[in-house]
Amino acid sequence: MAADRPAETAPAPDRSRILVVDDAADAREVIQTQLEDRGFRVAACGSVEEALALLAATPFDLVITDLRMPRASGLELVRHVRTALPDTEIMIITGYPTIEGAVEAVKTGAEHYLAKPFTERELVEAVEAIIAKLARRRLAHAGPAADGAHGIIGASEPMQRVFRLIDRAGGTAATVLIEGESGTGKELVARAIHYAGERRGAPFVSVNCTAIPEHLIESELFGHIQGAFTGAVASRRGFFEMAGGGTLFLDEIGDASPAMQAKLLRAIQEKTIHKVGSSRPVRVDIRLICATNKDLPQLIDRGLFREDLYYRINVIDIPLPPLRERGDDLLLLVNHFRARYGRDLGRPAPSFSDETLRRLAAYHWPGNVRELENLVQRLVLLAEGERIEPTDLPATLRPALDLPRRLDRSLAEHEADYIRAVLASVGNNKTRAAAILGIDRKTLRDKLGRQG
């Protein structure tokens, strides 16, 4: 094997277990050493019979097997793994690569096919891609998803920072500003702060600032007395009084009108309100939490938001990461929503294919967690089979192979575009791309090298 060593990376974090099966002792020893150097736990044997005994005694995440071996072939091992060990991945390696062999291996259940000779870089990259795919599948199809800290699902470092800020904010009475894109869960964080503090036994009142008509701002926020205006047939408490002793959550504070901002600033500063129709001040005791998906400093520069109000509400700032920056949290959330809506239907929730999970993980998610939840709910409700495939996804997550038709480019340029599109459609799986293109993996590798 060529000595093309891959760039240094961290060892496999979960110490994944790999079984190497090859009747050539030198080949399996080289593979074992190279993978152990990358932090994997590797066992090796020289026959299918030995492999079956090891698989019966020890769980493995990945089996790497030669295709041609004495007595029993690698395809027989593939069939056994696919039938008896559905959570174990398998990769074929062979020194006799043919398109027919690759197609047969894929049909049998080996999605991964590596032709000898291959470099250490190619081996490690292929193994790491397989282990990453397996990790995605396990996260998205684990048992019942346990809520994370404060009832919010998230294990990523960005969310761990959020949890630490929630803990700190919960122990104070300071006002909090939660900033994040739409759908990131700002109200969940606000509730977590409320229930992490001393006011947890008092009311939590949520108000959407965009939902209050301009002519009802004072009445909605501060209440009114009977007869204060036409239609005021009885006295009414406003949101500030309703939240007395507890927390008032003002969502979308960046959309508050100038009149509303002025009234809020006065109430926050004086800690008193005046009901509509009354001159008597009413003292209020609330914890104020605000949220916005807008850039408030930019609105201040444009004269659309009061700077003095901004500093009043922004004592503790909690920025929420968008879903696309939360890594594997997406898969935890897929599992959570999949199980929830499966329970609602009273039937086992369908699974997600590996390619479906890859496309979900690669998507930008402009609507964040809310968009993901809506999509998973729709997929579970409309699922006709036991597995959700990429064809079940909306068009935005099913990129087609449509290529621009231009007649001023060379054949080589069109070929390069087509190869890139095919690779993108199969998640950069070179074995599957080669099979679609009708060439072997080595030819594909040569073409990719020529195209840079």
- At residue 214, the pLDDT reads 84
Domain harbouring 414, CATH code? 1.10.10.60
Residue 312 falls within a domain, yes or no? yes
Give the C-alpha separation, 204 to 165, whole Å. Answer: 19
pLDDT per residue of the chain (452 residues) written in tens, 0 to 9: 444 444 433 334 457 899 999 999 999 999 999 999 999 999 999 999 999 999 999 999 999 998 888 888 888 888 888 888 988 998 888 765 555 555 555 555 566 778 778 899 989 988 998 898 888 888 887 765 555 678 899 989 999 999 999 999 999 999 999 999 999 999 999 999 999 999 999 999 999 998 888 888 888 899 888 777 777 778 888 899 999 999 999 999 999 999 899 999 999 999 999 888 888 888 999 999 999 999 999 999 999 999 999 999 999 999 999 999 999 999 999 999 999 998 888 888 899 988 899 889 888 899 999 999 999 999 999 988 889 988 888 887 865 444 455 556 677 777 787 787 777 766 677 777 777 777 777 788 888 877 76
Residues 46 and 113 in one domain: yes
Q: What is the total count of domains within the chain?
A: 4
Give the C-alpha separation, 27 to 279, whole Å. Answer: 89
Q: What are phi and psi of 384, to 5 degrees?
A: -100, -20
Q: Which residues contact 87 (CB under 8 A, 6 or more apart)?
A: 134, 137, 138
Last residue of a domain, one of 281, 297, 320: 320
Residues 294 and 172 in one domain: yes
- At residue 447, the pLDDT reads 84
Residue with tokens 């949290």: 329
The model's pTM:
0.70
- At residue 445, the pLDDT reads 83
Residues 310 and 354 in one domain: no
- At residue 101, the pLDDT reads 56
Give the C-alpha separation, 89 to 77, whole Å. Answer: 12
Residues 102 and 222 in one domain: no
Domain harbouring 44, CATH code? 3.40.50.2300
Residues 180 and 304 in one domain: yes
Residues 167 and 305 in one domain: yes
C-alpha angle with apex 406: 405 to 409, nearest 5 degrees?
135
Residue 431 falls within a domain, yes or no? yes
Residues 123 and 98 in one domain: yes
| 32 touches 40 (CB < 8 A) | no
Give the C-alpha separation, 439 to 430, whole Å. Answer: 11
Residues 179 and 308 in one domain: yes
Residues 40 and 133 in one domain: yes
Domain harbouring 210, CATH code? 3.40.50.300
Domain that holds residue 447: 399-452
DSSP secondary structure, 24-90, as one string: -HHHHHHHHHHHHHTT-EEEEESSHHHHHHHHHHS--SEEEEES--SSS-HHHHHHHHHHH-TT-EE
Identity at 183, one-letter amino acid code: G
Residues 1 and 96 in one domain: yes
Give the C-alpha separation, 91 to 98, whole Å. Answer: 16
| 28 touches 44 (CB < 8 A) | yes
Q: For 69-185, list the strands marked E by DSSP.
A: 89-94, 112-115, 176-179
Residue 310 falls within a domain, yes or no? yes
Last residue of a domain, one of 271, 303, 320: 320
Residues 316 and 191 in one domain: yes
- At residue 100, the pLDDT reads 56
Residue 361 falls within a domain, yes or no? yes
Residues 360 and 405 in one domain: no
